[in-house]
Structure 1
Amino acid sequence: MTEEKTRAVRLPSKVEALLPIVFLLAIMISNYVFGWGNDPHIPVLLACCVAMIVGKLCGYSYADMLKGALDAVSQSLEAIIIILCVGCLIGSFEWSGTIPAVVFYGLKTLTPQLFLPIACILCAIVAISLGSAWTVSATLGIAFMAIGETMGINPALTAGMILSGACCGDKFSPLSDSTNLAAAAAQTGLFDHVKAMVTTTFPSLVLAIIIYTIIGLQGSSGYDPQVATDLSQAIVDHYAFMSPILLLPILLIVVVSVAKMPALPAVILISLVGCVFAVVFQGAGLSDCISMLHYGYSAETGNELCDTLLNKGGMDSMLWTNNLVIVAVAFGGILQKIGAVESVLGGLIKKVKTPFQLVLVTMVTSVFCITTMCDQYIGLIIPASMYKDKYDEMGLGRNMLSRTLEDSGTLWSPLVPWSSCGAYHTATLGVPTLSYLPYCFMNIINPILALVTVSYGANLLYADGSRTTIFRHLKKGNGPAGAPPEAHEKAMAALAQIRAQQNK
């Protein structure tokens, strides 16, 4: 019986595989173009139904597809719980005065001309320390959004700046889950992977900061110093205590990260510390702490901008995001179960003949997986499993594979409205994904720079540890990057053959 069912199952054709994806994209694009204002939850749920119909036509049972969806959601449960707890963290940081303190002292030190580049650098530094773009978005991000508004800066531009810095720091951090996953999926060393990203990620950040500096120096016609003054005064009047001491919970985030505490207990601990600060410095009670963790902070200061800044957080505020994450990840699980990715992209690898084509195919697959399956981790794991042997066949280092995964997958995820990252940052920063997308200069420049340099033979990382510079000069390395022994031997043999042919 089982064998008969197995024989009846087939891969969907390319048209069948693309049908649920095109259906979802058509609804989402129409929603954006015509300004319907509908949330993405129901379109994604309907796309799940279309995917299941396609799967049924290909011989998959409802039970098999449901299992694929539930397995995918199960793998994302930790992230779902972390999102809920980040809501608690925001609520406690609002009541304790930590986030308002960042705004208060930021307004005293930052100018409109230098706000964008300096804030971007700060987001990158903190993200490297934390290993989490999500936490940066929920702390510094909220504060910088308020500061940017007082300076008359487009909120979409401010959000794009925050994510440029946060995503860059997340990529570089050895504490980041995506950084560790990319290295693990490519089967290379963690620090081999981190060093490999210097050649593409760091120049991209520098270019992004230059662009933000140019925009900032042009000034903002909407800047009104009185707005900043009124906001600062509203914060001081509202809180019983306002001092640099309230910034200490931000430093605690760095401490728990250096101590390598797992993300979930770290977020819970920091949230409780925020509650302690609220009790000690702002006069909150036990009942208030429970309320702030669940429903966030609620305030009426008489200043509209201040109220917007303060009325945030709470576990309850993250339910919109988590609802979307659940249905989106389930959609990806169904597509993976019926073999949609294999059907659409499986034949590409046979056509790859050059390193440029291999990098391009890897990036396209990663972007495709995240866009259709709505999960950053899938966008790292699937391309690695599909193409790692091809990197060996071309004599390339496994750290080049891991670098390429992050150049595309990690940076693309926040730009997809229905992905877990896109939904989270939209809910946290209060700016639609497609609005901040054009201003995420780091996320846009990095994959383009990686592709352009590889196209003329630069920034290639070889299995023996050597690499080509931006000017295509071959430089010896300090030893090969980590790789499985058999894969390394295969890559070294291929590299020797390639160089022998080049020297003829």
Structure 2
Amino acid sequence: MTKKKKLPSLGVLLTILGLFVVIMFGFIVILKLPIQLALLVVWFVILGFGVYLGHNYLEMEKGLLKGIYEGMGAILILIAVGALIGSWIAGGVVPTMIYYGLNIISPSIFLMAAMIICAITALSTGTSFGSAGTAGIAMMGIGESFGLPTYLVAGAVISGCYVGDKMSPLSDTTVMTASLSRVDLFRHIKSMSFVSIPAFIISAVLYWIVGAVMYDGRGDLSIAENTLTGLEQNFNVSWMMLIPAVVVIVMLAFKLPSVPVILFGALLGSLWATLFQGYGFIEAIQTLYSGSEQSTGIAFIDNLLNRGGITFMLEVILLIILALGVGGLLQSIGAFTVIGNLFAKWANNTGNLTLTTMLASFFGVFFGGAAYVSLLTGTKITEENYNRKNVSRTLLSRNVEAGGTVTTPMVPWSDGGVFMATTLGVATLAYLPFFWYGFLVIIISLIYGYFGLFIMEKDDHEKAKDEDHEENGGYETYEKTV
């Protein structure tokens, strides 16, 4: 006899989510065990509740695998960026960025400059991961050379990276959100600009003020001077080393797919290592897999530049797979459906629409571990509420990105949180208080929602999308770009 399936009650749902938090806190904070083990235990907890609710294992396994599949785009980018970091350090690309940055940028405006440079890079390439792995590492090196706290520099770097991840028409999350929300891509970007531009300006001003206060001319430039000397002695530094970076940015600007472009850039880095940095061909290719291994005799430079390679990302990839599995399991037992029903009763104005959508998106990040999951939970849980209120789904798409995309680096076990912490060498909870752009996006979005500001009306394109959606029985396919 087949056991009848049932949706989890509110009490069961809260119990599952509460156990998730307890397990994560216990493993990470108290037992000092890897996050991966905590997530694996969470799998078994959800499976147990799934059986209690009448689901069989095979059904839940399909949900688990589907959840992992939804995040494969991020995993492919992680592999490509890992290879890129290793070869660009060995090829002199990143060392040259650091060298020129130390010569050009004033310490007092460095934090603001770091945010702007990373924002330009991310807007041009459409990838926060790629921007952090290249320009971000260079900014970390420059900031440390100036004696600035690493957590503060990381906050500025990540703020800049997520400006591009959120606003670039080349970004996979931007394209995917517009598609899932059934709105025109550039209307989606226009709607987000009302939030992102003021958040960017305020963040830049704050970083400028803090930088000016922390570095008022009394700072010690000895580390910067030693870094310059060490880079000159150990790398061939010239404008030619920046050619791979220019090539990658131009290719991405022409809307070529991110993964093959980044991998091509990584191969260019290996070629540059052979042509200009004295590497043998096999040794240069090896940096794609095992990363850069520098021995300059200067501990600061070695610590900064001994990173990258595909193996550098393996623990991150494992963590993301496990986190995505959690999201898939929660979806398979009906947790998202229950939350959607609760939000539908509460979302009775644009303010509550905004808040519930951001919560649904953050739910995907916190319990699903990836930006892709957050975009799915944010749109699918709350989109019908916008239709009932006859509100343009540009508000939906804007709120999904505010609650999902920019919150990924805030969660230690999400793809964004793990990648940024690993790549920049700063723990998530250390840089979190200084990720000002992300917090400002959330605050401004809520203010707009509750005061009814910058709420756009449906246009003909959106109405046509609605009609097409209805004709297809409420189902619409979308292409997830990488």
TM-score normalised by L of structure 2: 0.93
Corresponding residue of 2:392? 397
Q: Give the drift of 1:481.
A: 5.8
Corresponding residue of 1:10? 6
Corresponding residue of 1:96? 91
Deviations 1:386-444 (A, max 9, x none): 32232233232121111111111111111111111111111111111111111110000
Q: Note if contact 2:24-2:39 (Cα within 8 Å) is conserved in structure 1.
A: no
| Alignment equivalent of 1:482, drawn from 453, 462, 468 | 462
Corresponding residue of 1:44? 39
Q: Give the drift of 1:156.
A: 1.1
Q: Which amino acid aligns with 2:17?
A: I
Corresponding residue of 1:467? none
Q: For 2:55 and 2:412, locate their aligned partners in 1 and report how far apart those are by CA, in whole Å.
A: 29
| Alignment equivalent of 1:196, drawn from 184, 191, 200 | 191
Classify 1:77/1:232 alpha carbon distance in 2 versus 1 (closer, same or farther; 3 Å).
same
| Alignment equivalent of 2:376, drawn from 367, 377, 381 | 381
Q: For 1:230 and 1:485, locate their aligned partners in 2 and report how far apart those are by CA, in whole Å.
A: 59
Q: Give the drift of 1:487.
A: 5.8
Classify 1:69/1:223 alpha carbon distance in 2 versus 1 (closer, same or farther; 3 Å).
farther
Corresponding residue of 2:476? none
Corresponding residue of 2:275? 280
Most deviating of 39-48 and 335-344? 335-344
SS in 2 for 1:143: helix
Q: For 2:135 and 2:415, locate their aligned partners in 1 and report how far apart those are by CA, in whole Å.
A: 20
Corresponding residue of 2:221? 225
Answer yes or no: is 1:415 the counterpart of 2:434: no
Q: Note if contact 1:44-1:331 (Cα within 8 Å) is conserved in structure 2.
A: yes
Q: For 2:435 and 2:10, locate their aligned partners in 1 and report how far apart those are by CA, in whole Å.
A: 32
Q: For 2:43 and 2:404, locate their aligned partners in 1 and report how far apart those are by CA, in whole Å.
A: 22
SS in 1 for 2:34: coil
Count, aligned residues: 469
Answer yes or no: is 1:187 the counterpart of 2:182: yes
Answer yes or no: is 1:368 the counterpart of 2:348: no
Q: Note if contact 2:195-2:441 (Cα within 8 Å) is conserved in structure 1.
A: yes
Q: Which amino acid aligns with 1:20?
A: I
Q: Give the drift of 1:310.
A: 1.6
Q: Give the drift of 1:243.
A: 0.6
Answer yes or no: is 1:438 the counterpart of 2:418: no
Q: Give the drift of 1:274.
A: 0.6
Classify 1:389/1:238 alpha carbon distance in 2 versus 1 (closer, same or farther; 3 Å).
same
What's the C-alpha RMSD, in Å, of the aligned pairs? 2.0
Deviations 1:242-294 (A, max 9, x none): 11111111111211102222122111100111111111111211210232111
Unmatched segments (≥5 aa) in structure 1: 465-479, 491-504
Q: Which amino acid aligns with 1:484?
A: A
Q: Note if contact 2:28-2:34 (Cα within 8 Å) is conserved in structure 1.
A: no
Q: Give the drift of 1:37.
A: 4.1
Q: Give the drift of 1:463.
A: 2.2
SS in 1 for 2:297: coil
SS in 1 for 2:55: coil
Q: Which amino acid aligns with 1:130?
A: T
| Alignment equivalent of 1:215, drawn from 197, 210, 215 | 210
Q: For 2:367 and 2:465, locate their aligned partners in 1 and report how far apart those are by CA, in whole Å.
A: 34
Q: For 2:172 and 2:449, locate their aligned partners in 1 and report how far apart those are by CA, in whole Å.
A: 27
Deviations 1:325-356 (A, max 9, x none): 11111111111111112224422212322111
Corresponding residue of 1:135? 130
Q: Give the drift of 1:460.
A: 1.7
Q: Which amino acid aligns with 2:317?
A: N
Corresponding residue of 1:471? none
The residue correspondences of 1:105-504 to structure 2 (distance < 5 A) are 105-220=100-215, 223-239=219-235, 241-463=236-458, 482-484=462-464, 486=466
Q: For 1:209 and 1:488, locate their aligned partners in 2 and report how far apart those are by CA, in whole Å.
A: 42
Unmatched segments (≥5 aa) in structure 2: 471-482
Deviations 1:115-139 (A, max 9, x none): 0111111111111110000000100
Answer yes or no: is 1:28 the counterpart of 2:24: yes
Deviations 1:1-27 (A, max 9, x none): 7xx45xx11111223223333223224
Q: Note if contact 2:97-2:138 (Cα within 8 Å) is conserved in structure 1.
A: yes
Classify 1:432/1:489 alpha carbon distance in 2 versus 1 (closer, same or farther; 3 Å).
closer
Corresponding residue of 1:473? none
SS in 1 for 2:462: coil
Q: For 1:381 and 1:345, locate their aligned partners in 2 and report how far apart those are by CA, in whole Å.
A: 12
Q: Which amino acid aligns with 2:147?
A: G
SS in 1 for 2:312: helix
Q: Which amino acid aligns with 1:305?
A: F
Identity score, percent: 32
Q: Give the drift of 1:29.
A: 3.5
Q: For 1:261 and 1:449, locate their aligned partners in 2 and report how far apart those are by CA, in whole Å.
A: 33
Q: For 1:80 and 1:401, locate their aligned partners in 2 and report how far apart those are by CA, in whole Å.
A: 26
SS in 2 for 1:218: helix
Q: For 1:55 and 1:224, locate their aligned partners in 2 and report how far apart those are by CA, in whole Å.
A: 59
Q: Note if contact 1:18-1:344 (Cα within 8 Å) is conserved in structure 2.
A: no
Q: For 1:279 and 1:359, locate their aligned partners in 2 and report how far apart those are by CA, in whole Å.
A: 52
Q: Give the drift of 1:55.
A: 0.6
Q: Which amino acid aligns with 2:196?
A: T
Q: For 1:391 and 1:197, locate their aligned partners in 2 and report how far apart those are by CA, in whole Å.
A: 17
Corresponding residue of 1:86? 81
